[in-house]
Amino acid sequence: MNGTHEHNQPIIIFDPYPRSKELIFRQTQWQRLQSLGQIVCHDENPIPSEIFDRHLPDAVAVIGQTDLPAERLERATKLKAILNVEGNFKPNVDYDACFRTGVQVLSAAPAFALPLAECALAFAIDLARGITIADREFRAGREKYGLESNREAFLLTGSEIGLIGFGNLGRALLPLLAPFHCHIRVFDPWLPDEFIKDHHCEPAGLDDLLSTSKVIFVLAAVTSKNEGFIGERELFLIEPGSVVLLMSRAAVVDFPAFLRCVEEGRFQAATDVFPVEPVPPDDPVRRIEGLLLSAHRTAGMREAFYRIGDMAVDDLALILSGLPPVRMQAARRETVALYRSKPGRSYKKNGL
């Protein structure tokens, strides 16, 4: 990278922290990335400012979520793309400047949609049929057979379904639900009714959805505008016997109220997300019977991480050849500043 004869190749700054090169790139895909430019690679921890700043004027792309305030972007005159290899948009970038100058801002969120959707479906059937609880009872010698163990069970087929949020996750889940021939309500205040109808779902208000759905998937991203929008009042609208799948972010619900509802048997639930992660060892959440516990693990599969690398190289290749990216999620000028997801986990310490 410090040679001189290669000074005509475009510079790609690779600063994936808290991700890592090993986490997101198969060897073949990394080689393909190398064919696109000279890579300034900093993998163990965030790139030091002086290195970043030295290369920025020559960089066509930043892969990662390095701080890019206005003053940096001004010097990044060759920059064409910021490819965030996490699933979010942090407020450390002057997005307006990017949109103005035509820098593509992309996130890896779509890589996680299908892994999460598969789990969401399995969670729904698990709760509808008591699968995990029945296994636990069996191990404790308390299993019941046949109908005796199915008193609350219901078929997913034909159930009333509610999707709260209809972005990447909802659209990945929808095809998986198709063979169950359910009536599906969707609440998403960013989408017009007809958009939802075009997906053969019924647009619904939040209260209507909560009070009529037997299976409720919470798939909404957390933004500065919707934190805790599923509060106690909303949770109390849910019919007894329903099941709730909290898949996206804990912050969209009043989490303590959510847990109380499950403890009191108002509904059963599964959650993949928690307000504090890792969950403290003595957290009483671990003992709630009707709650299927998943340690923020439905999205973060090996395949999903590699998919990030695949998508990033594909999109960067398109951008460098003058075409629009199509695989990662493009930031939208109107909403990019609203997202409030927490940063992802660093895997580098444990060799991932």
Applying CB under 8 A, which of residues 145, 240, 276, 284 lies at the interface with a second copy?
145
Question: What is the CB neighbour count within 10 angstroms for residue 179?
Answer: 9
- Residues 190-229 close enough to bind a second copy by CB under 8 A: 190-192, 194-195, 200
237 in Cβ contact with 261 (< 8 Å):
no
Rounded to a whole number of angstroms, the distance between the first and last alpha carbons of the chain is 25
H helices of 68-157, in order, are 70-75, 95-101, 113-129, 131-139
Judge if the upstream peptide bond of residue 203 is cis by omega within 30 degrees of 0: no
- Residues 45-104 close enough to bind a second copy by CB under 8 A: 96, 99-102
Question: What is the CB neighbour count within 10 angstroms for residue 347?
Answer: 16
Residue 350 touches a second copy, criterion: CB under 8 A: yes
Residue 352 touches a second copy, criterion: CB under 8 A: yes
DSSP code of residue 68 = B
- Residues 283-302 close enough to bind a second copy by CB under 8 A: 286-287, 292-302
Applying CB under 8 A, which of residues 181, 227, 231, 256 lies at the interface with a second copy?
181
SS3 call for 41:
strand
Applying CB under 8 A, which of residues 50, 148, 276, 284 lies at the interface with a second copy?
148
Closest CB 222 distance from a second copy, rounded Å: 17
Q: Which amino acid is at 316?
A: L
Residue 157 touches a second copy, criterion: CB under 8 A: yes
- Residues 4-33 close enough to bind a second copy by CB under 8 A: 23
- Residues 107-126 close enough to bind a second copy by CB under 8 A: 114-115, 118-119, 121-123, 125-126
Closest CB 235 distance from a second copy, rounded Å: 22
The stretch among 36-44, 62-70, 187-195, 236-244 that binds a second copy (CB under 8 A) is 187-195
Q: What percent helix, strand, coil does the chain show, rounded to 5?
A: 40, 15, 45
Q: What are the counts of helices (DSSP H) followed by strands (DSSP E) for the chain?
A: 13, 13
Letters for 238-277 (x = contact with a second copy by CB under 8 A, - = none) are ---------------------------------------x
